[in-house]
Each structure stands twice: as structure tokens, then as C-alpha cells.
Amino acid sequence: MILHIDVCQAPFLIENTLSTGEKNKANAFHFKHLQRNYIFSHSFKRFILSTRFPICREADWRFLTLESGKPFVDLKAARFSKLVPTQISFNLSHSNDCVVIGSLASDYNSIGIDVELYKSTEDLGGVQDIAFHIEEKNCLLACQNQDESFFKLWTAKEAVLKAAGHGLVDGITQLNCSQSLKTDQCYLVMWHDKEYCVQTFSFGWGVISVSWLSSVEVSLIELTDWKSGKPYPLITG
């Protein structure tokens, strides 16, 4: 199956298709720029889901959440067409104005994705001690570009944790994603007795990492940039 990664580096004009609950969350933000980012990212989420899975209009998507807070598509909701897959897995991440959606038709709520725009990591040194595996630390020390390498590791770990359905947890230093510093190909990691695929993509502006259960047969990854609301293929393979 195809794993879609859709990225938008800056907001474009898009219809506000948020549910009442999402609109209430947006209105709860005290700062206007955070409110705008929330409205765009979740409208973009609905736009992408209708593009990749044209079973309903953007405004008709309904979502439930796991106990961890991770959202998933409520396929029992009304207004879907009859051509509904068994399950749709998706995950959203954003960094400042940049939004990324990962999605695939899967029987598992199994995908995790994370994006980070490059910035200085001078104040993040302590993160390594509480979050990085010893091999990750050693590999990071050997890297010439410390900032870029830090975010390769960080996004990879976040992607696995989100695929597993939880956030930062105790024992995160046992999760070893050092391969993200050694290869741009897909690799396997074990986490909580499950095997996950991980792949990291680096660009001039930042890093995207995606993870999914290895039992989900992904045959192709398509990464698309939605500049000004139009799709531009970045990676297919």
C-alpha cells in the first residue's frame, strides 16, 4: 500500500472545515498566530484526507481519540460513501507554520510522523541526557552538523512514539534511532515488544521522520509538498 506524506511549509488560503469541537479548541488560544496555525493545520488535515481517501467532504470527517489522546478516523460516522476502507491511519505534526500529514489505508492505527524546522540546539543539550540512547549520543558526537543531526534523531524517536500511540515516556533512552544518522533508507527498531519501520527525510529547511508497524506492508512512500495549495511531488519510492 501507499504511505502518503503531505507537507505544507506555509499556510495557504483554505476553507475552514473544522468541527464545532475543533473550533472551540481554536478559540481557546490566547495568541492569534497559534489560533491561525491550529485552524489551518486541522483544515489541511481534512483536505488531505479527502484528497487521499475521497469518501466524504472535508467537513464530514469525524474523529475519536485513544486513551493516549492520539486521534483516529471514526469510520462508523455518517455521511461516508460506501467505498470505505477497513481503517484509515493518519498522523499530524507541525513545526511553526509547517504542517505534515502522514496517512495510509491500514487495519492498524499504526502511523506516526514528526517534523522539525532547523534551529539552534544550543539550549537542548540536556535533552540528550534524558531522551537519547547511548548509541545515539555517540553517533551524534561524530556528526559534523550537530543541529541537523539532532533533529534527525528527535523526529525519528517522536515518530516511533506516535506510531505506538503515546508521547514521551519512561525508558525512552532504550529506544535507539541512531540509524537515522547513518542512512536515508527505511530501517527497523523494536519498541515495547513491537517492530516498527522508520524513515527520515532531510531537506534544506528541516527534517521529517515517519514510522509505522512493520506488519503493515508499505510498498511505496509518496512525499508531496502543497505549495500555495498545489501538489508538488518531492519523493516517490
CATH of the domain at 89: 3.90.470.20
Print the domain residue range for 89. Answer: 1-110+216-237
pLDDT single digits (tens) 65-101: 887 778 888 877 656 656 666 688 999 999 999 999 9
Residue 175 lies in a domain: yes
Do 59 and 6 fall into the same domain? Answer: yes
Residue 207 lies in a domain: no
Q: What is the pLDDT of residue 172?
A: 86
Do 39 and 59 fall into the same domain? Answer: yes
Q: How many residues does the chain have?
A: 237
Do 181 and 140 fall into the same domain? Answer: yes
Classify strands 63-65 and 194-202 as parallel, antiparallel or unpaired: unpaired
**The pTM is what?**
0.92
Neighbours of 100 (CB within 10 A): 28
Residue 236 lies in a domain: yes
Residue 210 lies in a domain: no
pLDDT single digits (tens) 94-129: 999 999 999 998 876 789 999 999 887 766 667 777
Residue 205 lies in a domain: no
Q: Give the integer Cα–Cα distance in Å for 199 and 186.
A: 5
Do 82 and 100 fall into the same domain? Answer: yes
Average pLDDT of the segment spanning 191-220: 94
Give the total number of structural domains in the chain.
2
First CA to last CA across the chain, in angstroms?
12
Do 19 and 104 fall into the same domain? Answer: yes
Higher-pLDDT residue of 77, 10: 10
Q: What is the pLDDT of residue 82?
A: 61
Q: What is the pLDDT of residue 79?
A: 60
Do 148 and 189 fall into the same domain? Answer: yes
Do 92 and 152 fall into the same domain? Answer: no
Do 133 and 60 fall into the same domain? Answer: no
Residue 46 lies in a domain: yes
